[in-house]
Structures are given as C-alpha cells and as structure tokens.
C-alpha cells in the first residue's frame, strides 16, 4: 500500500500534465512533421489514394519558380511593414490621449467603444469594409467625389486594393496595440511629467524624452507580436479581393491555401507552407534577438 | 487628476472614436435598409426607414441561424474543454518539479509560435482519413489544440501567484492532490480563468482559415465560413443581406466586450506580456 502510494506521488504530475501534452503532440507536432513529409511528395487531391510518391525537392522548385508566389512574399512583407506601423502608431496615440484625458465616465465609455473593432471577427470586419469600399454606392467613394476626386475601384486596381487591405487589418488591430500601451503608460509615475512641466517642457518634448524611452520594451513587444500576426494575413484578402486584381494582393497564406485547395496540389501547397514557416521563424527570431539586445542596453 | 488635461485630446479622442465606429454604424444601418435605400446616391447616412426584412431573409434563406448556432456551440465547447485541460496542466507545471518539465514548457511556447495556417493542409488530409472532415467535433479538437499553449502558459502563471502556505496547510489537513487542485487552488484563480475563457472564446468564435478548409456543409459551417460563402457565391453581392449577417455575427462579441471589459483588457495585456 505504502509502495503504491509513493509511486502515485511520483507520477502525480503526469496526471495533470499528460492530457495537454497528448493534444499538443498529436495535433501540433505530428501534423507539422506530416506537412514536411507531404512537401516532398507529388500528392494531388485529384489522384487516387496511395498513388503519391516521393519526388525530392521538386515541389520546392515549382513553388519558387511560381511568380505569383514570389510576388506574394514581397507583398506580404510590404503589407506587414505598413499595417504594423499604422496600428502601433495610432494605438500609441490613442493610449496617450486616453491617459491624458480626465478619467471621467465619458472617457471610459470612449475607451470601451475604441476596443470594439478588436472583438469583430476579421471576416466580418472585412465584409463591413467591403460594403464601405463599394465602388458605386459605397460611402467612401461618395466622400471622395464630394471633395472633387474620382471614384476609386477598390478591388479592381492594385494600389487601392492593397491600401484597402492595409486599412482593414489596421482597423482591427489598433485596439490591441492601444490596450497594451494603456497598460504600459500606467507604469510611468506622474511625478516625472509634473517635474517636466515645471521645467517648462512641452507636451511633445515630455512625450519624446519621458514616455517613449520608458515604454520602449512594450513598443518592441507590440511590434514583434503584430509583425508575426500580420505575416499571417489571410481573412481580409479572401473576403475583400480574393487575391485580385490578377494576383497582386495574394499573401503567402492565401497562395498556400489556393495551391492546395483550389488547384488541388497538396504537395506544392505543403512546400509553400514549409517556406512560410521558415520565413515566420526567421522574422520572429530576428525580432526576438533585436529586442533582447535592446533590453541588455 | 494632476495630469495635464487639455480639451484637445478629448476632441481628438471623440473624433477618432467617431471614425472608428463608423464602419460598425454603417453595417448596422445598412442591415436595416431596403435595397432601394442602399443603392442610392448620395448614400443615406441616416436611414429614412427602418426594416428588419434583411435579418428575416438572411436567417430564412442563408442559414444564418444554423451558422450562429454552430459557431456558438463550437466556441463554447472549445472554451470549456480548453479551460479544464489547461488548468490541469497549468497546475501541474506550477506545483511540481519533474524531469522533462523545462522541455515540455519549451514545447508549449514553440507550438504557440507556429501559425495555424500551416496546419490547414495536414489537418485536411489526416481528418479525411479519420472521417473527421466536415465535423464540428473535428474543428473543436483543432481549436482546443490551437488555444492550449496560451491557456496553459497563462494558467500556470496564475497558479504561480498563489502563496505556498496554502498548499502546505491543505496537505497537512490531509487533502489529496486532486482535492487541493479542485477545492483550494482553482477557486482562487477564478478571475484568471475568466480571462482565459474570454480569450479562447473570442479566438475560436472569430477563426476563419481552418474552418474554411475543414467544413463545407451548411449544417456544420461557422459564421465566418458562412459569411465568406455569401461574399463569394454572389458576384453582385446583396449588401443588405451581408450587413445583416455581419450584424448577427457581432452580437456575442459585443456583449462580451461591453459586459466584461475589465477582463478583456486584462486578458489581452496578460496574453501579450506573460506569453
């Protein structure tokens, strides 16, 4: 009896930890390895079962030779650059404005309104913006024409379509940045601003000299989280443009999806997925190393 | 109150809120317009007539009610099961020292970094063989796995905050480990569990990519998949119906946002900073 009890004690942690590890092993590790395995086979959804065979790096070659895919990499990177800059910039601005305002009921209400876009599913927000960006009856084109511009085809031309996708993604992610920065700003003691005010510093100077340096770690945290998130962009593109016009708004994610499920080429799609994974890993490790360095300084 | 306050920031804030909320306002009002009110120039910024016709039609003809129910049932079961498994694991990681603990924790973080889009293809092939395609159970399993890493990480950090004395005195009183977990530790981290639930619910309620690949029947589709189908099927998209579908889809998230705002804020910050 005593022996059994001791044995139970020694393996007790397993009972707690095992269920989660089973999930992670079978549904995260195994499929990942399986994706790598598939990327070396000529697997097509249209082929009869079991006829796929090993073809070496052929899928990788055909992915890299795919001009639309190469273009999708550069557009995904450009998109991330703009979407991250805009959402982090406006998020920070809103957080500063909220912190500087008197903490009244009205301001708290404004804050809960400002959080709403984050709660909306990306598919739904993209649908909403698709209505707003409507070519003929959309209010955005109406406003443009009101100020003597010409109506823009938001899905028919490359530049407007790309702009629209950046706007949709930024709209949904500004609240996230704002919330983190709101938390960050509360870590700065009021006295610092007061003494700066006595020294005659302007609002902008105290923002640049006090706020920014003190929340630098938070900024790099938000930037790296947002960067990883925006590299995965998928929903707004599928809803707003479906990759068009002529593939210029395809992201790495949508290309991978289309290779496997529209053109039924699972092998090629898996190779794209592996390349996607490597790009994400490189970017995350680089940002991680850059932010670590800053912390050491 | 000593902070510099100037009305400029308040004016800017109101202006931003206005711009920010305009898409939501426009969607809700478009949903209440008749086709004749939608296809007009200049657009009706304030609807001249309000009707619920679009909502009726989208529920009757586009299966929106079914999609809504699918989304809710999948998200709620994902949240409950994730909460149970993750609080178990979080407790295990926080309370015990064992061989392979560091490695397991590292695995949890590493899996969190892998974008879920990468799993689309392997899940499709594997689930096809297991007959889990086009099944709500299959998608729920996927969502549980996708949410576990963050949930484990957060719940471990919440258990870490509890003082050791609580566990020791419970042990002296003769509680078994499971009793300590269930009767003593768990009730103390309830606020943390609420935070985790909100994050998990929102993530699974809003997810699109994996659901798009794994579900294809109207009887299993979630709201995002259903709405994307409406967008793609009809080239000449009926804006009123789309807006009504979007409005229906926003309801649960908005109820959460407005009632549990404190927890939402806490969750987002904890998820980012602690992860």
Rg over CA atoms, chain B:
23
**Mean pLDDT across B157-182:** 87
**Mean pLDDT across B40-45:** 79
What pLDDT score was predicted for residue B267?
A: 79
Query: Chain A partners of B250 at a C-beta cutoff of 8 Å?
Result: 119-121, 124
What is the band of A67 on the pLDDT scale with cuts at 50, 70, 90?
Answer: very high
CB contact under 8 A, B152 and A20: yes
| Burial (0-12, 13-18, 19+ Cβ within 10 Å), B165 | exposed
CATH fit for domain B62-274, picks 3.90.550.10, 3.40.50.150, 1.10.3720.10, 3.40.50.720: 1.10.3720.10
CB contact under 8 A, B213 and A257: yes
Separation in Å, CA of A44 to nearest CA in chain B: 11
Q: Which residue has the higher pLDDT, B70 or A103?
A: B70
Q: Is the confidence at residue B44, as pLDDT, over 90?
A: no
**Mean pLDDT across A137-147:** 89
**Mean pLDDT across B108-127:** 90
Collapsed DSSP state (helix, strand, coil) of residue A226: helix
Q: Kindly report the pTM of this predicted structure.
A: 0.91
B 180-209 residues inside an 8 A Cβ radius of A? 181, 202, 205-206, 208-209
Write down the H helix ranges in A67-121. Answer: 67-100, 105-119
Separation in Å, CA of B135 to nearest CA in chain A: 16
- Model pLDDT for residues A71-93, shown as the tens digit of each residue: 999 999 999 999 999 999 999 99
A 46-75 residues inside an 8 A Cβ radius of B? none
What pLDDT score was predicted for residue B99?
A: 84
Largest CA distance in chain B: 77
Domain boundaries, chain B: 1-51, 62-274
Residues of chain A with pLDDT > 90, as a percent, come to 51
B 68-87 residues inside an 8 A Cβ radius of A? 85-86
Distances in Å between the alpha carbon of A235 and those of A194, A257, B144, B169, B244?
Answer: 45, 11, 21, 51, 19
Which residues make Cβ contacts (< 8 Å) with residue B181, sequence separation at least 6?
A16, B88, B91
Separation in Å, CA of A283 to nearest CA in chain B: 11
Distances in Å between the alpha carbon of A30 and those of A45, A232, A278, B138, B142?
Answer: 21, 21, 18, 16, 13
CA A198/CA A214 separation, integer angstroms: 20
Query: Chain A partners of B180 at a C-beta cutoff of 8 Å?
Result: none
B 214-273 residues inside an 8 A Cβ radius of A? 223-224, 227-228, 231-232, 237, 239, 242-243, 245-246, 249-250, 253-254, 256-258, 261, 264-265, 268-269, 272-273
A196-209 b/e (C-beta count within 10 Å ≥ 16 → b): beeeebebeebbee
Q: Which of B16-25, B33-42, B211-220, B243-252 has the lowest mean pLDDT?
A: B33-42
A201–B contact, CB cutoff 8 A: no
CB contact under 8 A, B118 and A242: no
Q: Which residue has the higher pLDDT, B21 or B45?
A: B21
Q: Is the confidence at residue B90, as pLDDT, over 90?
A: yes
What pLDDT score was predicted for residue A297?
A: 46
Separation in Å, CA of A296 to nearest CA in chain B: 18
B20–A contact, CB cutoff 8 A: yes
Separation in Å, CA of B129 to nearest CA in chain A: 10
**CATH numbers and ranges of domains, chain A:** 60-296 (1.10.3720.10)
CA B194/CA B91 separation, integer angstroms: 16
Q: Which residue has the higher pLDDT, B127 or A105?
A: B127
What pLDDT score was predicted for residue B236?
A: 65
Query: Chain B partners of A32 at a C-beta cutoff of 8 Å?
Result: 114, 118-119, 122
Structure tokens at B26: 């426009």
**Contact assessment for residue A107 and residue A191, using Cβ atoms and an 8 Å cutoff:** no
What pLDDT score was predicted for residue A32?
A: 94
What pLDDT score was predicted for residue B202?
A: 92
Separation in Å, CA of A144 to nearest CA in chain B: 12
Residues of chain B with pLDDT > 70, as a percent, come to 95
What is the band of B1 on the pLDDT scale with cuts at 50, 70, 90?
Answer: very low
What pLDDT score was predicted for residue A236?
A: 95
- Model pLDDT for residues A169-185, shown as the tens digit of each residue: 999 999 999 999 998 88
Q: Which of A122-131, B32-41, B155-164, B175-184 has the lowest mean pLDDT?
A: B32-41
DSSP letters spanning A161-174: HHHHHHHHHHHHHH
- Model pLDDT for residues B140-151, shown as the tens digit of each residue: 999 999 999 999
Q: Is the confidence at residue A262, as pLDDT, over 50?
A: yes
B113–A contact, CB cutoff 8 A: yes
CB contact under 8 A, B228 and A232: no
**Contact assessment for residue B32 and residue B248, using Cβ atoms and an 8 Å cutoff:** no
Separation in Å, CA of B13 to nearest CA in chain A: 7
What is the band of B2 on the pLDDT scale with cuts at 50, 70, 90?
Answer: very low
Q: What mean pLDDT is reported for chain A?
A: 88
**Mean pLDDT across B40-60:** 85
Which residues are paired to A54 by β-bridges? A41
**Mean pLDDT across A198-209:** 81
**Mean pLDDT across B179-188:** 89
Q: Is the confidence at residue B76, as pLDDT, over 50?
A: yes
* ipTM at complex level: 0.90
- Across A114-128, A186-200, B69-83, B230-244, which has the greatest mean pLDDT? B69-83
B99–A contact, CB cutoff 8 A: no
What pLDDT score was predicted for residue B125?
A: 92
What is the band of B237 on the pLDDT scale with cuts at 50, 70, 90?
Answer: low
**Mean pLDDT across A146-154:** 86
What is the band of A7 on the pLDDT scale with cuts at 50, 70, 90?
Answer: low
Collapsed DSSP state (helix, strand, coil) of residue B24: helix
What pLDDT score was predicted for residue B41?
A: 75
A 119-148 residues inside an 8 A Cβ radius of B? 119-125, 127-132, 134, 136-139, 142
């Amino acid at each position: 009896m005593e022996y059994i009890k001791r044995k139970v004690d020694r393996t007790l942690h397993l009972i707690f930890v095992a269920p989660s590890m089973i999930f992670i092993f079978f549904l995260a590790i195994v499929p990942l390895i399986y994706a790598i395995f598939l990327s070396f086979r000529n697997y097509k959804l249209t082929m009869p079962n079991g006829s796929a065979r090993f073809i070496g790096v052929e899928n990788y070659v055909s992915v890299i030779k795919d001009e639309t895919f190469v273009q999708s990499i550069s557009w995904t990177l450009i998109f991330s650059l703009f979407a991250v800059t805009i959402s982090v910039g406006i998020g920070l601005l809103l957080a500063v404005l909220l912190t500087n305002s008197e903490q009244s009921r009205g301001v708290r209400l404004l804050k809960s309104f400002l959080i709403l876009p984050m709660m909306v599913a990306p598919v739904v927000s993209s649908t909403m913006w698709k209505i707003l960006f409507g070519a003929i009856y959309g209010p955005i084109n109406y406003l443009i024409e009101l100020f003597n511009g010409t109506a823009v085809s938001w899905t028919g031309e490359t530049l407007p379509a790309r702009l629209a996708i950046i706007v949709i993604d930024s709209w949904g992610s500004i609240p996230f940045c704002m919330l983190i920065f709101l938390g960050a700003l509360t870590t700065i003691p009021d006295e610092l601003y007061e003494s700066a005010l006595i020294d005659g510093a302007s609002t902008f100077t105290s923002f640049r000299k006090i706020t920014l340096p003190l929340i630098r770690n938070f900024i790099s945290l938000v930037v790296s989280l947002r960067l990883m998130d925006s590299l995965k962009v998928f929903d707004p593109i599928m809803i707003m443009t479906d990759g068009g016009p002529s593939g210029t708004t395809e992201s790495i994610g949508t290309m991978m999806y289309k290779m496997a499920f529209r053109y039924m080429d699972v092998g090629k799609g898996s190779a794209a997925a592996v390349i996607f994974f490597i790009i994400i890993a490189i970017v995350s490790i680089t940002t991680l190393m850059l932010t670590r360095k800053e912390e050491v300084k | 109150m000593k902070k510099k306050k100037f009305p400029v920031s308040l004016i800017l804030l109101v202006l931003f809120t206005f711009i920010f909320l305009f898409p939501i306002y426009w969607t809700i009002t478009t949903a209440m317009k008749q086709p004749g009110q939608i296809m007009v120039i200049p657009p009706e910024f304030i609807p001249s007539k309000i009707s619920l016709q679009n909502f009726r039609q989208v529920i009757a003809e586009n299966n929106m009610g079914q999609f809504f129910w699918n989304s809710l049932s999948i998200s709620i079961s994902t949240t409950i099961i994730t909460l149970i498994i993750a609080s178990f694991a979080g407790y295990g990681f926080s309370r015990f020292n064992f061989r392979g603990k560091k490695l397991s924790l590292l695995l949890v973080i590493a899996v969190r970094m892998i974008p879920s889009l990468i799993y689309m293809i392997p899940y499709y092939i594997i689930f096809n063989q297991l007959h889990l395609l086009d099944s709500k159970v299959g998608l729920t399993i996927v969502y549980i796995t996708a949410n576990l890493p963050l949930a484990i990480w957060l719940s471990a950090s919440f258990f870490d905050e509890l003082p050791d004395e609580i566990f020791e005195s419970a042990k002296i009183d003769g509680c078994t480990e499971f009793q300590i977990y269930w009767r003593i530790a768990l009730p103390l981290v309830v606020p943390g569990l609420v935070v985790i639930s909100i994050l998990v619910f929102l993530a699974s309620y809003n997810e699109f990519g994996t659901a798009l690949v794994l579900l294809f029947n109207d009887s299993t589709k979630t709201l995002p998949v259903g709405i994307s189908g409406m967008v793609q099927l009809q080239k000449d998209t009926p804006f009123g119906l789309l807006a009504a579908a979007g409005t229906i889809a926003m309801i649960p998230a908005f109820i959460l946002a407005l009632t549990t705002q404190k927890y939402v804020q806490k969750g987002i910050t904890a998820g980012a900073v602690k992860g």
